[in-house]
Structure 1
Amino acid sequence: MKAVHFGAGNIGRGFIGKLLADAGIKVTFADVDEKVINLLSTLNTYNVKVVGAECKTEAVSGVDAINSTSDDLVSLVSETDLITTAVGPNVLVIIASKLAQGLALRFDANNEKFLNIIACENMIRGTTFLKTEIYKHLDEKYHEKAERLVGFVDSAVDRIVPPSESDDPLEVTVESFSEWIVDEQQFKGEIPVIEGMTKTDNLMAFIERKLFTLNTGHIVTAYLGALAGHDTIKEAIDDPIVKDQVKKAMQESGEVLIKRYGFERDAHNAYIEKILGRFANPYLHDEIDRVGRQPIRKLSVNERFIKPLLGTIEYATDNQMLLKGIACSF
């Protein structure tokens, strides 16, 4: 099986690309960073440092890379079995035209094999958004084939991948925890077996669980920590005053999840504690500036602050700490 993964950055190499390669899938990274592209296409391997209760370095091998602006990428898209992305929501708009060109070439060549596309981004229904952007560039004469042969699979992803401190330009540091959940109802053809990829028929519950817990907690930690004079997420969450307020914000957003999806309260409280433990990982030097960047986007209606806040209004539940986090972002 062959896959094209858009985005050879830390998340691409350390998370999705690694899971695909570990599953025996031939992965070609598509990116615009010439240094990374040249190294990957020459060495065909890189290291991932996994840190948690135990620390270990794992080699990812058998990979390749290509410039995502090249015409060769169009041919690659026309022949591959799986396409994944980890480029950030804004870049999905940019890569949509190349994907449309690849699909057109694929259909012109009468390639009747199923293709699945999975956008692995920190956004709700990112693949559905990408599909809309692709269709803007794809001639209507191809739409019927696309609907029949291409699965646009939404997903939820969760793994903290801070900048690497290694001298090796390809090495990535990741936490041991990871979660990649996909909507099994949206696949075309056989669903690939990939360890670390979990299938569900209720994706929205998991998307919002991650958004309202990991992302909400992360951003509140960043802004409260910044105002308290801390530089990293670990420093901030080790501050008992910050930690107490972050936990309360996550409990406020968690109350929305419990009422909306019926999550069991004790189990969700345990999930909150697990997230707090991940923030305190001593091996992750995760800077507040990285987590808190792009505040305007993170204050948008479907993001980590406003979406759970609207839920608290819908269910008439507490939201004082969420409001404080929003105030701190300003």
Structure 2
Amino acid sequence: MKKAIQLGAGNIGRGFIGSLLHKSGYHVVFADVVEPVVNRINTDKEYTIFIKDTESSEEKVDNISAVYSNKEEFIDVMKEAEILTTAVGPNVLKIVASTIAKGITARFESGITGYFNIIACENALNASSGLKDNVYEYLSDEVKAYADEYIGFPNSSVDRIVPPAYCSNPIDVVVEKYYEWNVQKIEFKGPIPKIEGMNLADNLMSYVERKLFTLNTGHAITAYLGYLKGYKTVDQSIDDPEIYKIVKNAMVESGNALIEKYHFDKDEHLKYIHKIINRFKNAHLKDDVTRVGREPLRKLSPTDRLIKPMQTALYYNLPIDNLIIGVAAAFNFRNQDDPQSRQLAEELNTHDLVSVIKEVTKLTQPEIINKIVLAYNKFQNMD
């Protein structure tokens, strides 16, 4: 039976990509370092996905096993599989690159000439390309030539809300019904595997930025504004009329930039925005604002969901008033359980606000920075 590796056995790995690989007839090997998860998968050999929507359903995922991603058994599985997907978080890709490089080297040394594709399914731009660069740092020139011929690194865009949720079985997972997985067609090596739910894209960047500028932008701003108003979940936050108005207008601002850049149909994109906002309203998910808002430094970086759409809109001389509010709200986010949030708070305590904004966002336009400062201070003065 054909075999796939899902590197990262967390909620996204089990509730999204691993599920699609299973539906497509693969024996899915989950690779992780978390001992209770690895052991439970190997003991139960199945788990349940609970799909929560207006009409809920369940999906059983079986024909699975697990290995430790930091042990030799992972290298052995890489010699047997034909595809590897990741869901480890963008910041972890550099860490796993050396292990993936060992697996590619092992395939080369074993004389394996089957094609092998590695798809980084992360909330980041060009994650697979970045992973490839990291992996190649650990390859000899001879193995690099082998990888150039047999190892593909297609970029992808993933979209499914998979919040943490209590389940009696710790490897069961709760997800929303909606999902979208777009993968760069041209970067596959060899015959493209048939995977249910995988959309092959010729112009992947339009899909990537549509998702980043819409789902990710709106989700983050909803969480930050909801946090500042004392709400616990995304659905509670978006039900607040003031938050709803700001979030929708911010998504329209980022959407107008996409329409200019990719010539999207305006009416169709407005329908897409409406669909995304309705996903935020799904009370069954109980998606915590502190989860969605975590890692604010990454989310405020120049290539991510707040600054990137704002800069794109500015390039086309479009309004960004509500995006500015979202950025200011992000700078006011505090979560003691999140290292990046603690780091941001420390930076703001020890440096002036303008310097921190410049350093984190890489913005250079004084008038934009001043508007963020005004909006930030307005949040600071909230009762």
TM-score w.r.t. the length of structure 2 is: 0.85
Q: Which moved more, 1:4-13 or 1:161-170?
A: 161-170
The alignment partner of 2:137 has SS state of helix
Report the 3-state secondary structure (helix = DSSP H, G, I; strand = E; otherwise coil) of the residue aligned with 1:137: coil
Q: Which residue of 2 aligns with 1:205?
A: 206
Name structure 2 gaps, 5 residues minimum.
Answer: 332-383
Is 1:143 the equivalent of 2:144? yes
Residue identity in the other structure for 1:127? S
Contact 1:44 1:63 in 2 (8 A): yes
Identity of aligned residues (%): 46
After superposition, residues 105-184 of structure 1 pair within 5 angstroms as 105-184=106-185
Aligned to 1:11: 12
Deviates more, 1:160-169 or 1:117-126: 160-169
Q: Are the equivalent residues in 2 in contact too, given 1:233–1:287 (CA < 8 A)?
A: yes
Structure 1 window deviating more from structure 2 (51-60 vs 179-188): it is 51-60
Aligned residues of 1:153 and 1:187 also touching (Cα < 8 A): yes
Number of equivalenced pairs: 330
2:245 is aligned with 1:244: yes
Whole-Å Cα distance in 2 between the matches of residues 191 and 280 of structure 1?
A: 36
Shift of 1:77: 1.1
Match of 2:74 in 1: 73
In the alignment, the residues of structure 2 paired with residue 52 and residue 262 of structure 1 have an alpha-carbon distance, to the nearest angstrom, of 32
Partners in 2 of 1:132 and 1:107 — Cα distance?
A: 18
Q: Say whether the 8 Å CA contact 1:29–1:63 is kept in structure 2.
A: yes
Amino acid aligned to 2:320: N
Q: Any conservation in 2 of the 1:6–1:86 contact (CA below 8 Å)?
A: yes
Larger radius of gyration: 2
Tell me the equivalent position of 2:316: 315
Q: Which residue of 1 aligns with 2:51?
A: 50
Q: Which amino acid aligns with 2:73?
A: D
Shift of 1:184: 0.6
Structure 1 Cα separation of the partners of residues 166 and 272 of structure 2: 29
- The one-letter code sitting in structure 2 at the alignment partner of 1:264 is D
| 2:193 counterpart of 1:192 | yes
Whose RCO is larger (CA < 8 A, sep 6+)? 1
CA distances 1:240-296 after superposition (whole Å, capped 9, x unpaired): 111011000000000110000011000000000000000001211000000000101
Instruction: Write the letter of the residue equivalent to 1:216.
Output: T
Q: Which amino acid aligns with 1:89?
A: P
Match of 1:304 in 2: 305
Amino acid at match of 2:76: S
1:138 & 1:302 partners in 2: Cα distance? 28
User: What CA deviation, in whole Å up to 9, does each residue of 1:64-100 have, x standing for no partner?
Assistant: 0001111111121122100000000111111111111
SS of the aligned residue for 1:65 comes to strand
1:329 and 1:20 map into 2 onto residues whose CA distance is: 35
Question: Deviation digits for residues 118-162 of structure 1, max 9, x if unmatched?
Answer: 000000000000000000111111111101111111000000000
Q: 1:22 offset after TM fit, Å?
A: 1.1
Q: 1:53 Cα shift?
A: 2.5
1:95-110 superposed matches below 5 A: 95-110=96-111
| SS class of match (1:285) | coil
Native 8 Å contact 1:164 1:171 kept in 2:
no
SS in structure 2 at match of 1:217: helix
Number of the residue aligned with 1:290: 291
Counterpart code for 1:53? T
Partner of 2:264: 263
SS at match of 1:84: strand
CA displacement at 1:61 relative to structure 2: 0.3
Distance 2:81 2:151 in 1: 12
> What is the DSSP-based 3-state SS (H/G/I as helix, E as strand, rest coil) of the residue aligned with 1:153?
coil
Kept after mapping to 2: 8 A contact 1:6/1:29: yes
Counterpart residue type for residue 166 of structure 2: E
Secondary structure of the corresponding residue to residue 5 of structure 2: strand
**Hey, what's the Cα distance between the residues in 1 that align with 2:309 and 2:37?**
38
Using the size of structure 1 for normalisation, the TM-score is 0.99
Q: Is the 8 A contact 1:162 1:284 kept in 2?
A: yes
